[in-house]
Amino acid sequence: MISDIVKLLKKEVSGLNAKRYVSDISRFHRIQVSPGLEKAIEYVKSRLEEFGYQAKIYQYPADGKKEYLGFRSPIGWRIRDAELKIVEPEEILIGKFVDNPTLVVAHSGSIPYGIKAELVDVGQGVRDSDYNVDVKGKFVLASGPPRIVHEEAVVKRKAVGIIFYKDNVSNPHAHPYLGFWPTAEEAKDAPPMFSISLEKALKIKEMLRKGRVVIDAYIDSEFYTGRIDVLEVRLSGSLDKDVLLIAHICHPMPGANDNASGSGLLLELARVARKLYESNVLKLGYGLRFWWVPEFSGVYAHLAEKPEVLDEIISVINLDMVGGSQDKVGGVLTIVGIAEFYPTFIPILAYHIFEKSVEGPKAYARPETLPLLRFKLVGYEGGSDHHVFVDPFRKIPATAFIEWPDRYYHSDLDVIDNIDPNLLKTVGVAALTLAYVISRMEKEYFRECLQVLHSFALSSLWENARELIYKPRWYALRKISLLSQMYSEAINTFSIFNLTKEQSLMLEECYRRIREYSDNIIKELEKSWCLKEEKEPILGNARVYKRTKKSIVRVYDIYRSLKEEEKKWWLEEIIEKKRGSLVDLFYYFVDGKRSLNEIYDILKVIYEDLKGEDLERIAEILERTKWLE
């Protein structure tokens, strides 16, 4: 039984030991393609070798030009020191790199001898209307996205540098982590760029309202042709594929929850797995493989240069932000759910196992156990390395454990004091249990896992039907139909295993029951008197597209290649409204078979406010910028 593995691993996985690894990793300034990241990976490698592994580091060129499966590699960047201060109308220290590692925007240009310049407030700094004063030869204070502000302030108007802040942060005292991610060509003329807290930005704004402000800035940094490192260890099983457990190790110092937590916990799981493997307690079917990577760039580079890896992986478990004390960071441990474009059973199984892994107090006068942690199975979300594997170009079942939100996310206040060893232990037990269950699926756990998925699908269909009261009738019917299709396809992904004839028959029966149950719910909804009678929005566009790249969409690259009205529309509707995930999801649905209308019929259920004309415009822009054809 799955609960037996959970009990075993609760005795073995140490949250305190995992936190020690997290602490060690958080001491490195781990920007992608940097000396700090290389040192962090070497640290993990040394620990793995202590455990008895033969660790392998794969290395790939990273120069800001070379692309891997359509994903441009970062350029190497090292930062030695920096300081920012106001010198007029009075001297005020704003920050030092040694105190605030996110004070300097990743990939900032260097000014090793310093520069003094007048500072001008340009608001967001993304529109012509933001520039009602001359900024040539000056620093600008701006809250917009770095690449857009750079284009408007530096490229177009010859500002000499930028000081960024964010006006929608959950912690006004933190220096946000921002990155520029230049091409090799852009790196040649990259300006000095800083990132300061909202609290400091508001004080500077007040000074600017009273008169002239001059800053003194110093950054000692440089670009170089670097490398992408991917660290791997394996435990071989009796079968010819592996379950992959992955964590991205890149991030500015300290980056404790994001993502020293995932990397440190993965190190602890590698320790426990090897110990139980060598003592013959864990007898593997599919093997276990562990990766520490720079996010996205490491996965794309490795899969591009070693395409055979895709045939060696049966499924993926991603650990990304898994240790924040919920009382401190305000987070919820989320399990990334089923992807509508590639439904699999893995997320549901992950959620089921996590429920079993959570230890809590007993209810008053009752035998029930109460949850100790906030956790939830959420709809599908990309944004981390699992997203590369579920891409329909690859179709490898995956899920992720991600704690969200985090009030210290992407800032210099993401520190080790925020890390909870109990949460690390719980996630670790769940993740390693999930990996082992998948490893032994064919021999031991098929029946139990199929029952888990069957029960979840039925309860989810009914729960969603209950929540559809007073929704438009067309929406309710499409919602249940979409869920039914997702759960049916998720069941079919059990076929990735070498099933017996009996197991295949069980799979078919489970599929039939779910479709029958959903058909009955749809019949009830058709007769319901609590649904709105509204006309269904129809796109009526039969155009069929196919993707030209095997990577995620780069929203800012598209922005830079647009002109005038389209550029304005993309800024307002996609970037400022934070609809990049919509574009990303749409891109994954494009398969050379579905029409735009068919894709809209799915997406309008996921994004209830999505207009057909907006989707058409997104498709047209992606075609014009050569992401689609």
Confidence of residue 308 (pLDDT cuts 50, 70, 90): very high
Residue 364 pLDDT: 81
**Tens of pLDDT along 376-430?**
999 999 999 999 999 999 999 999 999 999 999 999 999 999 999 999 999 999 9
What is the β-pairing status of strands 375-378 and 398-404?
A: unpaired
Residue 368 pLDDT: 79
CA distance 184 to 64: 4
Q: Mark 352-380 as b/e (b = at least 16 C-beta within 10 Å).
A: bbbebbbeeeeeeeeeeeeeebebebeeb
> How many residues in the chain?
629
Examine the pLDDT at 362 and tell me if it is beyond 80: no
Nearest to 446 by CA among 504, 523, 388: 504
Q: Which CATH number fits domain 76-224: 3.50.30.30, 3.20.20.70, 3.40.50.720, 3.30.70.380?
A: 3.50.30.30
Nearest to 401 by CA among 289, 318, 329: 318
Residue 336 pLDDT: 98
**Tens of pLDDT along 118-162?**
999 999 999 999 999 999 999 999 999 999 999 999 999 999 999
Mean pLDDT confidence for 586-605: 97
Mean pLDDT confidence for 429-451: 96
Mean pLDDT confidence for 26-36: 98
Confidence of residue 170 (pLDDT cuts 50, 70, 90): confident
CA distance 605 to 482: 8
Mean pLDDT confidence for 12-40: 98
Class of domain 2-72+227-439: alpha beta
Confidence of residue 310 (pLDDT cuts 50, 70, 90): very high
Confidence of residue 347 (pLDDT cuts 50, 70, 90): very high
Residue 528 pLDDT: 82
Examine the pLDDT at 493 and tell me if it is beyond 90: yes
* The two three-digit tokens of residue 570, written as one number: 């993309």
pTM of the model as a whole: 0.96
CA distance 493 to 489: 7
Residue 211: is it exposed, middle or buried by C-beta count within 10 angstroms (0-12/13-18/19+)?
exposed
Q: Are 65 and 73 in contact (CB under 8 A)?
A: yes
Confidence of residue 596 (pLDDT cuts 50, 70, 90): very high
How high does pLDDT run on average in the chain? Answer: 96
Confidence of residue 271 (pLDDT cuts 50, 70, 90): very high
Which residues, at least 6 apart from 362, have a Cβ–Cβ distance to it below 8 Å? 368, 369, 370
**Tens of pLDDT along 502-521?**
999 999 999 999 999 999 99
**CA distances, 382 to each of 24, 102, 354, 422, 438 (Å):** 28, 24, 20, 26, 22
Residue 189 pLDDT: 94
Mean pLDDT confidence for 281-308: 97
